[in-house]
Amino acid sequence: MARAPDPADRRRNVVTVTGAGRGREAELGVRLAEIQDELLAPLSASKRDEFTALLRELLAHHDPAGPATAPVAD
């Protein structure tokens, strides 16, 4: 990430993702997928979908910003 003063308002900072940051995000995405596959290995594809939908529903219910802001898959 890179941070620089906002040219329009010097009190603010503008934060941008660098090439290295995008590369790290991609690496972590691959690792996350590997961990999820390992964790959910005993479940069929349909059970995985059902499980993640239930987790999203729980998350939406407990989201302090309110359930309207959290994505819920049906």
Among residues 64, 41, 66, 62, which one has the least CA distance to residue 51?
41
* pLDDT reported for residue 29: 95
d(CA 54, CA 74): 9
- pTM of structure: 0.56
Domain segments of the chain: what residues? 1-39, 43-74
Section 34-52 average pLDDT: 95
Structure confidence at residue 71 as a pLDDT band (50, 70, 90):
low
Residues 71 and 55: beta-carbon distance below 8 Å = no
Structure confidence at residue 10 as a pLDDT band (50, 70, 90):
confident
Q: How far is CA 60 from CA 17, 32, 48, 49, 52, in A?
A: 28, 22, 18, 16, 12
- Could you say which DSSP state residue 18 is in? -
* pLDDT reported for residue 64: 79
The β-bridge partners of 9 are: 6
**Residue 74, pLDDT above cutoff 50:** no
